Structure 1
């Protein structure tokens, strides 16, 4: 039991020192093929020394040991066809001879479009001319009453 307590005490006192960022570190990228760039230098899998993070007291530039310089403007190669030659520039224009046979002239073509606003519409009344029939709810009992006929009535027989 004493050994376990001593081991726990030893790990508890030394773990913050091991986890701090005050000493040199080895940079390992999070994803393979994605470089870690520090001040124009690829720092992947190298040793970096300097003050940063929570332990920095003042601004000190980190030093990268073993990194390689990265070109800030990558030089992209040109596309070469399978023949290994650089593609031509512009288009190839061939001047026809002056005494050649000319083609028939093209037929005339004309097309036009027009648009205009629609004529103003008269204002619509708020109540429609032929309103839908009104459905009256049953007054007594509900399901025992016969269904109403919902035909529009003649205008002379409408009760008030």
Structure 2
């Protein structure tokens, strides 16, 4: 009984090790939103060699049935790159006003300042009318100190004392 269970386990073990090396059919999560892999629209195509995040090896996938999508300009994605020489796709329109236009009235003056300081000290407390008596307790030394050893003379490196 144990031998047959062990044999079934050992036969099924290599099959599960190679289970992730097949192909995948790519289905987009939302209609109209393409799945782009290396400038190829892989929507409803067969992709072979994608292992995902489960392995520590990156493979160049092979896409069967995908459509090549030409490289898009960066301005199409909502960013403005002045080095391309293109106008931005959206944003405010900058218009330089004429020099002889009527100027608006000047703004009123405005001044504001901030400061920091410590919290005020509490008022001094007066001595109570009937202060508690101060009791001086005598020092009681329950553990007398051991006598200090006398310095030795005649030891090398020590001056005689």
TM-score after normalising by structure 2 = 0.36
Greater relative contact order: 1 or 2 (C-alpha under 8 angstroms, separation 6 or more)?
1
TM-score after normalising by structure 1 = 0.36
